[in-house]
Amino acid sequence: GEDVEQSLFLSVREGDSSVINCTYTDSSSTYLYWYKQEPGAGLQLLTYIFSNMDMKQDQRLTVLLNKKDKHLSLRIADTQTGDSAIYFCASEGGMDTGRRALTFGSGTRLQVQP
């Protein structure tokens, strides 16, 4: 089945850039998502990228997609303490799989030190 892998933990200083990486296996994925989860809360959609794009920028967030290597990254510029949370990468099943659900990674815990 589909699989999504992420590193478990990232620590940065406030004001630095954060880069969270993700790899996925489903080559037919059409959309790839980044979600943020704060303690005790649900998942908040941060951004997404369509598989025919290689970059998407949205304010402080930049998503890079290397479809050949099935590698996705999320860059947060000028990281703030309020960005401390768990970040999940998710792939959406492509038309080939007929799947209409998201496969999530295990999440990357971002710790921002003041």
Among 19, 45, 53, 77, binds another protein (CB under 8 A): 45
Residues 6+ apart with CB under 8 A from 62: 55, 56, 74, 75, 77
Q: Which is nearer to another protein, 100 or 114 (CB)?
A: 100
Per-residue tokens: 94: 């492509």
**Minimum CB–partner distance for residue 2 and another protein (Å):** 10
Q: Does 43 engage in binding with another protein (CB under 8 A)?
A: yes
Q: Does 22 engage in binding with another protein (CB under 8 A)?
A: no
Q: Does 53 engage in binding with another protein (CB under 8 A)?
A: no
Measured over the CA atoms of residue 111, residue 83, residue 6 and residue 71, the dihedral's sign is negative
